């Protein structure tokens, strides 16, 4: 006779309940948002749309209004999301929230996924050539090995 081990809580066993998607206004991040929205709709999951506002001390030092600019980007992203949500209302209804975190993209998405108890993370593929050498946010998220990560081209 074998002794059964007690079962532990496991996130995502019945499909994801919270899907985090990183958006920054780039084409690949908007494709990732569309892909994640489809996942959320099919899984009846909450779509947590995350914009990570960069903290640029160097820009602030030369007098650039960095905080105002990133706030405008966040407001523009919310407006785009609301527009698209209204456009498909009644056809594709999904639950979504918009969150803003400050920091570098990788650190902000990790913090968001942790705080929001993400079952899955979706990001767009990097559009910067240098990331092939030093590693993109997507690669770093995959290497962290804490959530299933989908990278949308």
Q: How many Å apart are CA 76 and CA 82, to the nearest integer?
A: 10
Predicted pLDDT of residue 9: 47
- pLDDT (tens digit per residue) in 21-76: 999 888 888 899 999 999 999 999 999 999 888 776 554 445 555 556 667 777 77
pLDDT digits (tens, 9 = 90+) for 66-77: 556 667 777 777
pTM (2 decimals)? 0.74
Contact 117, 9 (CB under 8 A): no
Torsion-angle region of residue 77: left (phi > 0), alpha (psi -120 to 50) or beta?
alpha
What pLDDT band is residue 10 in, cutting at 50, 70 and 90?
A: low
Looking up tokens 């405008």 gives: 72
Per-residue pLDDT, 85: 66
8 A C-beta contact, residue 33 and residue 23:
yes
């Amino acid at each position: 006779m074998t002794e059964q081990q007690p079962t532990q809580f496991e996130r995502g066993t019945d499909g994801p309940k919270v899907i985090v998607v990183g958006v920054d206004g780039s084409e690949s991040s908007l494709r990732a948002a569309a892909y994640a929205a489809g996942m959320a709709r099919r899984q009846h999951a909450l779509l947590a749309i995350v914009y990570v506002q960069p903290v640029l001390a160097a820009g602030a030092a030369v007098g650039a209004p960095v905080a105002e600019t990133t706030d405008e980007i966040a407001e523009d992203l919310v407006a785009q999301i609301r527009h698209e949500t209204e456009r498909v209302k009644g056809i594709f209804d999904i639950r979504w929230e918009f969150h803003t975190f400050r920091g570098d993209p990788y650190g902000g998405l990790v913090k968001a996924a942790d705080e929001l108890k993400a079952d899955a993370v979706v990001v767009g593929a990097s559009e910067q050539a240098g990331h092939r050498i030093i590693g993109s946010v997507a690669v770093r998220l995959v290497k962290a090995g804490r959530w299933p990560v989908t990278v949308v081209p």
